[in-house]
Structure 1
């Protein structure tokens, strides 16, 4: 099952096992069970601390448990955790085997202190780049707290179960039989949702923080670059981010980042965060900014109000809040989100195997999505509002060559149709004739661009008609001491490499601003921070 190179690499990792573990397989006579047995046999042969049993009695077959011998500590996988989930398998082996996690001890202590019994089930697809973070977080929780159980389920392999439970997006997490979360979440977010007092404790910590020289709001490529450049100047730097990595976390393959031949969004986001933390930046994750209060005078403190009620103060602020998927804005879209309306074809496409879907949007993202989905689903209808596709010609040629794809031009989506539980169709209006028709389908993938995350800044600083933060060549905004960078700004061409460069530019401009304006007196600083 594993090639020799992978066996060598995995064998090196498994030398870190501290305690013996058992692989307990539940199998039937199917091909996937034979593949799983071969995989587990390969793994067991790589370490004398691993034993394999084939007497598992789990109802899901094929599946297996990784059990710390003689203890209740275990995690489960239903299916073969290859592809994006192979890393989840390796980490589960190590952590069940006693190898310590790199997560903060404070967060792990929160997990261990959770009271009650938690039965988590996570549905994933092997092509989903967001799923491993969720699977790995819940696996780690099951290792740390024996009253927490977790099974990760390959939705493409257990289609009947997926249909019965109406899972139409991955990752989807059930807790004690009820939907708990959909989409990417990390360990801190899961714990915050379970530990209801954690937000208040975090707000108290933030209120006690001294003012910064540079505060970066947002943790995508622009924010990470800004934070690194600021910290390297030797000044006090903080980052407040709703989710570190931003839109990059939802990006599958990245092949246009100069000097990096290929990477994936979550991998790049992890590297960005590691780089920022290595420069001793104060990173505050899970923090959503809600208001910006300009300084009373140049060089004074700018206030950023957070959703948890706390405020951060800084002599300069760099806004890098990024963008999010643009929605169609039609009836039924909100009602059927994650019930057939999706925004990530790589993640959710396998759940629509053999079904009929539509892709909304004829740019590069939409055409690429239609091409990918055509290899999985029964039929794809691509709907473009304009009279022609806007994607690169090479992509258009590929799309038109596919036998199970229809293209609708000059089409306006007017409504998402459903039966109350899931999507059943799409209503379209021909913009030329005015004729309205309905398409019967099970899935709708929306690929119509991005919206800047700037609503909270309205009436505070200058925004473009598109809602982008207006910046000059130095990243300066209309408010003294406030700078901006990345996809939330008027800088053209929303690309990772451009966002990184813009973040560095804004950071250097902020430093220049600081050295030209005196810091407020210590007494005034303390009074504002205590307010």
Structure 2
């Protein structure tokens, strides 16, 4: 028998935890599900300086504070890797690798993962010089030399953003031309702080154990290995929405993101989505929290509508 709840929240990042606060405060019976530690990507962020109320806080510390705020209102928290969500009448059946749960409302807050290069040093220096978010981390590299790996819109947009603070920004791209929009390319080429390394296959991210000292790349034309000295490496080779368990619900777009309206509602009544898993441009803690507050309140509104 599936254990029954009013609301099941899949994902315990900042958006999911905020949704839990709002839904639980409305006296709903709430379950938070996550396959790993609560806090989401905040656990991989060394320092956060752009979340209101906390001028400087460690990512895991902010995650802990959000978790404690959510648990104050007594939702259940369970570990589980969600395999599928099915609609049965007004109920949604959530199946994990260990159990089955049922609720009229499911809130999807599973987020997105940055594609990894898969090179030596990437994991070791993640949060210590390796970043996947210039908006999050640019301020930590003021007047430093940094590299951006990638050649699409995100890479060039973030490179331009970084150039406002960094001493220099070197774009390292595996092709001989950028894939970014022509307007972005022009802005980048006209930027005196931005440099470009073409036909470069990144081989490793190098450091002294505490901080990054540079990257090693292979020139694809000559086969020669070269070293670029930088203090920060920003990687933009794609982002993957974590939506595989929801592919049969008919709520994904062609890229696997979940479109919603302003109330976080998907195409399926009673299934909401929030945060980085949504089809949107800016993916930050602050707007995930905003999404979560809306989703938590909308969960209450939807359940009330079932009683009318």
Please classify the TM superposition score into its range, dividing by the shorter chain length.
0.7 to 0.9
In 2, Cα distance between equivalents of 1:473 and 1:481? 15
The answer for the alignment partner of 2:303 in structure 1 is 514
Report which structure shows greater RCO (CA 8 Å, sep ≥6). 2
Contact 2:7 2:103 in 1 (8 A): yes
The verdict on how the C-alpha distance between 1:363 and 1:394 changes in structure 2, with shifts beyond 3 A counting, is closer
> Is the counterpart of residue 447 in structure 1 residue 235 in structure 2?
yes
Q: CA deviation at 1:456?
A: 2.3
Q: CA RMSD in A?
A: 3.8
> Is the counterpart of residue 488 in structure 1 residue 274 in structure 2?
no
The answer for the alignment partner of 2:247 in structure 1 is 458
> Is the counterpart of residue 280 in structure 1 residue 74 in structure 2?
yes
Task: Tell me the TM-score normalized by structure 1.
Answer: 0.45
> Is the counterpart of residue 249 in structure 1 residue 43 in structure 2?
yes
Q: Secondary structure at the match of 1:390?
A: helix
In 1, Cα distance between equivalents of 2:218 and 2:45? 29
In 2, Cα distance between equivalents of 1:279 and 1:413? 52
Mind listing any 5+ residue stretches in structure 1 that lack a counterpart? 1-206, 350-358, 375-379, 419-423, 430-434, 520-531
Q: Given the alignment, which residue of 4, 8, 16 partners 1:223?
A: 16
Q: CA deviation at 1:426?
A: 2.9
The verdict on how the C-alpha distance between 1:276 and 1:392 changes in structure 2, with shifts beyond 3 A counting, is same
Mind listing any 5+ residue stretches in structure 2 that lack a counterpart? 173-192, 206-214
Greater radius of gyration (CA) = 1
Q: CA deviation at 1:437?
A: 4.8
Task: Tell me the TM-score normalized by structure 2.
Answer: 0.74
The verdict on how the C-alpha distance between 1:360 and 1:312 changes in structure 2, with shifts beyond 3 A counting, is closer
Contact 2:50 2:136 in 1 (8 A): no
In 1, Cα distance between equivalents of 2:300 and 2:246? 23
The verdict on how the C-alpha distance between 1:370 and 1:326 changes in structure 2, with shifts beyond 3 A counting, is farther
Q: Secondary structure at the match of 1:399?
A: coil
In 2, Cα distance between equivalents of 1:457 and 1:412? 38
The answer for the alignment partner of 2:83 in structure 1 is 290
Q: Secondary structure at the match of 2:77?
A: strand
The answer for the alignment partner of 1:342 in structure 2 is 123
Spell out, residue by residue over 1:203-262, the C-alpha distance to the aligned partner (whole angstroms, 9 max, x if none).
xxxx6x730000100001110111111111112111001221101111232222223323
> Is the counterpart of residue 385 in structure 1 residue 127 in structure 2?
no
Contact 2:143 2:166 in 1 (8 A): no
Q: CA deviation at 1:373?
A: 7.8
Q: Secondary structure at the match of 1:458?
A: helix
Q: Secondary structure at the match of 1:479?
A: coil
Q: CA deviation at 1:396?
A: 1.5
Q: CA deviation at 1:343?
A: 7.3
In 2, Cα distance between equivalents of 1:362 and 1:240? 26
* Structure holding more helix per residue: 1
In 1, Cα distance between equivalents of 2:58 and 2:5? 32
The answer for the alignment partner of 2:7 in structure 1 is 214
> Is the counterpart of residue 239 in structure 1 residue 27 in structure 2?
no
